[in-house]
């Protein structure tokens, strides 16, 4: 497959994706696949198959040894992830922890929007699961029993979006200094925006929260809740799980989600109009 074909797959994968809202739990299903958080332990056959798939589908960018240095990598502005460090942005686990197998499966399925990382929604689910097991072998962290059990996020009781929730969310947004990076109105232009780097020494930009296509992962308010609760490991984006209650995090998630859906939720008002 060419790079363009891969990117196209990514676009289709994302457009065709709907994340169901499961109330109290993390959305556990990607597209149509029935998936669970439990995965069978890796066998030698799983790893052999995973390696074969990885070599064809992933190594061109991520490198045969998973170091992020495949032949295509030098042509990309954004570096493919080096898997040897076990640092993953997209997780349902506490800040600093490893991702669950399902988190990795989810990333492979959806891809990361607006990055070279394509969606593999068209790949057979069993092949995606084999790759999940295989990429874990690149980092010794996954074999270290002290890393487990993982602390999987509980999203509490959902608060429905409303003008009151947006106003509370707006106040929390300013109080928690999201604006320092994401800007007062969420446009990704806060005072710290120009100075940020990630743990791999690459420049990193805070997301323009008003622009749906600037989001790598979030496709629903619950995703937004998850992202600022778990933080994005390896980036300056911190976790706010300790500093805010579940309810306040729902208000904040509703507000942030409304920023990119102003016509639907905000009646076309500006974010600042929700300031008290
Ligand atoms: C065209 C290049 C390309 C291909 C092909 C590719 N990736 Fe990626 N991948 C990337 C880039 C670039 C990133 C870094 C994105 C970022 O940091 O935002 C990435 C990041 C990731 C991440 C990290 C996500 C996180 O939460 O931190 C995982 C996991 C991943 N890729 C798995 C895979 C797997 C598995 C395959 C093959 C099935 C694959 N990638 C194929 C370019 C690619
Ligand atoms: C120290 C700077 C910093 C602060 C403070 C910060 N963020 Fe972020 N945030 C980032 C960066 C950098 C990214 C982009 C990460 C990436 O692209 O890999 C990001 C990404 C995001 C995303 C997008 C995830 C996606 O789908 O791509 C959301 C949502 C978000 N932040 C919400 C918040 C909220 C809400 C707050 C305050 C409670 C906050 N952030 C505070 C730096 C920050």
- Ligand lying closest to the C-alpha of residue 123: 1
State how many domains the chain has: 2
DSSP type of residue 225 = H
Cβ pair 225, 155 in contact under 8 A: yes
For residue 109, being part of any structural domain is answered with yes
For residue 157, being part of any structural domain is answered with no
Residues 88 and 192 in one domain: no
Query: Ligand 1 center to residue 258 CA distance, Å?
Result: 28
Residues 11 and 143 in one domain: yes
Distance CA 210, CA 232 (A): 19
Range of the domain at 133: 3-147
Residues 130 and 242 in one domain: no
Nearest CA to ligand 1 atom 12: 80
Residues 54 and 110 in one domain: yes
Nearest CA to ligand 2 atom 13: 206
pLDDT at 268 exceeding the cut of 90: no
Look up the pTM and report it.
Answer: 0.88
Provide the b/e sequence for 52-82 (b: ≥16 CB within 10 Å): ebbeebbbbbbbeebbbbbebbeeeeebbbb
Closest atom, ligand 2, to C-alpha of 215:
27
Residues 33 and 132 in one domain: yes
pLDDT at 18 exceeding the cut of 90: no
For residue 222, being part of any structural domain is answered with yes
For residue 156, being part of any structural domain is answered with no
> What is the 3-class SS of 121-158, one letter each residue?
CCCCHHHHHHHHHHHHCCCHHHHCHHHCCCCECCCCCC
Give the model confidence (pLDDT) of 41-80 as tens digits.
Answer: 799 999 999 999 999 999 999 999 999 999 999 999 999 9
Distance CA 108, CA 231 (A): 19
Estimate to the nearest angstrom the gap between the alpha carbon of 163 and the chain centroid: 27
- For residue 152, list its beta bridge partners: 93
Residue ranges of E strands in 30-153: none
Q: What is the mean pLDDT of the chain?
A: 86
Q: Give the tokens for residue 189.
A: 């232009």
What pLDDT, on a 0 to 100 scale, did the predictor assign at position 264?
75
* Torsion angle, alpha carbons of 50, 26, 121, 85, to 10: -40
3-state secondary structure of 197: strand
Give the model confidence (pLDDT) of 96-135 as tens digits.
Answer: 999 999 999 999 999 999 999 999 999 999 999 999 999 9
Residues 77 and 140 in one domain: yes
Nearest CA to ligand 1 atom 30: 108
For residue 158, being part of any structural domain is answered with no
Query: Ligand 2 center to residue 151 CA distance, Å?
Result: 21
Helices 125-136 and 101-110 pack at an angle, to 10 degrees, of 120
| Across 74-78, 91-95, 266-270, least confident range | 266-270
């Amino acid at each position: 497959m060419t790079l363009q074909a891969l990117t196209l797959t990514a676009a289709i994968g994302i457009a065709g994706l709907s994340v169901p809202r499961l109330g109290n739990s993390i959305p556990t299903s990607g597209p149509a696949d029935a998936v669970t958080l439990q995965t069978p332990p890796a066998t030698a056959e799983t790893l052999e198959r995973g390696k074969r798939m990885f070599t064809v589908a992933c190594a061109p960018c991520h490198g045969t040894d998973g170091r992020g240095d495949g032949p295509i990598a030098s042509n990309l502005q954004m570096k493919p992830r080096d898997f040897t460090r076990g640092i993953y942005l997209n997780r349902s686990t506490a800040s600093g922890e490893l991702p669950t197998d399902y988190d990795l499966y989810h990333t492979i399925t959806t891809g990361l929007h607006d990055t070279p990382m394509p969606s593999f929604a068209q790949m057979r689910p069993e092949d995606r699961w084999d790759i999940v097991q295989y990429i874990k072998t690149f980092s010794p962290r996954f074999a270290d029993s002290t890393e487990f059990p993982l602390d999987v996020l509980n999203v509490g009781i959902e608060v429905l979006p409303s003008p009151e929730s947006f106003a509370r969310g707006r106040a929390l947004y300013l109080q928690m200094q999201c604006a320092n990076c994401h800007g007062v109105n969420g446009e990704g232009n806060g005072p710290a925006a120009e100075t940020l780097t990630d743990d791999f020494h690459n420049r990193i930009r805070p997301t323009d929260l008003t622009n749906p296509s600037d989001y790598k992962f979030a496709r629903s308010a619950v995703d937004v809740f998850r992202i600022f609760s778990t933080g994005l490991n390896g980036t300056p984006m911190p976790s706010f799980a300790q500093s805010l209650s579940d309810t306040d995090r729902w208000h904040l998630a509703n507000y942030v989600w409304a920023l990119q859906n102003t016509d639907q939720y905000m009646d076309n008002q500006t974010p600042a109009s929700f300031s008290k």
